């Protein structure tokens, strides 16, 4: 593929999920080369830390989306190195109610289930 001088954003699409790979700059005096060389050369200047965070978060979200939830009887059955979604049928730490937990990025999140009238 030939590119004119300019700055290009490189992305991939997988099952309608867009992933940012980087930005490349092509100058009028740039040598010919494969896309990966341009990505490596352009990233040498350093990416914005916010972009890095968004990229890693997107990767984690995609991984969690592809990981089915695990069911356990009680909270004590969740392993200490848990990652992903857990459905606790009777959570002893929340009065015996069913609770959904998400373990991601070293943090724990919980979602209570309330019967809808």
pLDDT tens readout for residues 28-78: 887 777 766 766 665 545 555 666 667 677 777 777 677 788 999 999 999
State how far the alpha carbon of 55 is from the alpha carbons of 13, 21, 46, in Å: 14, 8, 14
Are 60 and 76 part of one and the same domain?
A: no
Q: 43 and 24: one domain?
A: yes
Please tell me whether residues 27 and 51 are part of one structural domain.
yes
Residue 60 lies in a domain: yes
Could you tell me if residue 23 is inside a domain?
yes
Instruction: Give the number of domains in the chain.
Output: 2
| Residue 80 belongs to domain spanning | 70-112
pTM of the entire structure?
Answer: 0.46
- Mark whether 48 and 94 lie in a shared domain: no
Q: Is residue 1 part of a domain?
A: no
């Amino acid at each position: 593929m030939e590119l004119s001088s300019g700055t290009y954003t490189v992305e991939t699409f997988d099952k309608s999920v867009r992933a940012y790979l980087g930005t490349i700059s092509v100058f009028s005096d740039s040598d010919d080369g494969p896309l990966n060389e341009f990505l490596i050369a352009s990233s040498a200047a350093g990416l914005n830390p916010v972009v890095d965070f968004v990229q890693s978060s997107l990767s984690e979200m995609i991984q969690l989306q592809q990981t089915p939830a695990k069911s356990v009887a009680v909270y004590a059955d969740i392993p200490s190195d848990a990652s992903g979604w857990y459905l606790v049928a009777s959570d002893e730490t929340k009065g015996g109610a069913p609770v959904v937990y998400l373990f991601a990025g070293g943090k724990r999140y919980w979602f209570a289930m309330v019967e809808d009238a």
